[in-house]
Copies of this chain bind each other. A is one copy, B any other.
């Protein structure tokens, strides 16, 4: 199991990347790394972590993709960047997947260009995990496609299903389309058309119809399917709300002497809540629909978060997620109506 790492992406790169590799290695001792980055910066970090050094190959890259580079420009001008070469290693078959904490738009543009989409998938999607009242859910798309038509949404459902079956190990994952109400006539045309296609297809038994924003963390379905605009707003709204709650709580425990004492007593239990809602735990957004495994780490994360993103890539590779997506697409296409039913 070999993963290429873009050592230069992320706010605290490259130190956080190498630390993350070290943490991931403890959890996945079989992991091997192909690291792309500035040798003068990365070599000393590897020297400090001999366990990582022993299982890694470092390749010097003169360029990097900056966090604010426009995707189209990054695609044209970054042939020698750590991000581009780490993705090239997936295409060349040198590694089983790539992890980068760099510029999301650039990573998607380069990954699409280098790896191409799986036949039958028009557009790749970004998927991520959410904590729920009953476990975990997966939502896609989280921002790759600002506008989606009904067929894109149907393909996202197929990819989400393949992902939940293999990586999450759910036998018949349930899924819903994110909408502003559960009634059949709600929402945009694309949503109603996608719902009609899904109800007539092989995933009909798993399709729970329309779900609402509160169902994302409510855990009503294993998978939530949405366009990249809505998914991104929902993701960031959830992050912001969790932060608000956490800050309010922090303030409360400092507000009086009894509260401070209470905190000391309940600290262990509160820490468990922090762990369950820790964004680092859910770090590692999956780019689904490409001929290769690409995982995007949050740019602002630390080594613990980056290690989780590496773990996601290893899980996806171990479970051969892309073979599963290809199989499911074949099944869906075998029974797919030639025309979308009237919305």
Contact = CB atoms under 8 A, between A and B. Distances in A.
Interface string A268-287: 11101100110000000000
A239 B214 contact: yes
Interface string A244-288: 111111011101101101111111111011001100000000000
A343 to B, nearest CB: 14
A193 to B, nearest CB: 15
Contacts of A131: 244
A188 to B, nearest CB: 6
A41 interface: no
A163 B234 CA distance: 25
A214 B237 contact: yes
Interface stretch (A109-117, A149-157, A215-223, A302-310): A215-223
10 contacts: A143-B180, A178-B233, A180-B232, A216-B240, A252-B269, A252-B272, A252-B273, A258-B269, A262-B262, A262-B266
A320 interface: no
A49 interface: no
Contacts of A249: 249, 270, 273
Number of this chain's copies in the assembly equals: 2
A146 interface: yes
Nearest to A142: B180
Contact of A216 (B132, B237, B270, B277): B237
Interface residues of A, number: 65
Interface string A39-78: 0000000000000000000000000000010100000000
A268 B259 CA distance: 8
Given A259-B266, A273-B248, A213 B232 contact: yes
A101 to B, nearest CB: 17
A49 B234 CA distance: 43
B255 A269 contact: yes
B229 A180 contact: yes
Contact of A213 (B185, B239, B251, B273): B239
Among A216, A217, A249, the most chain B Cβ lie within 10 Å of the Cβ of A217
Nearest to A256: B269
A268 B253 CA distance: 10
Contacts of A216: 237, 240
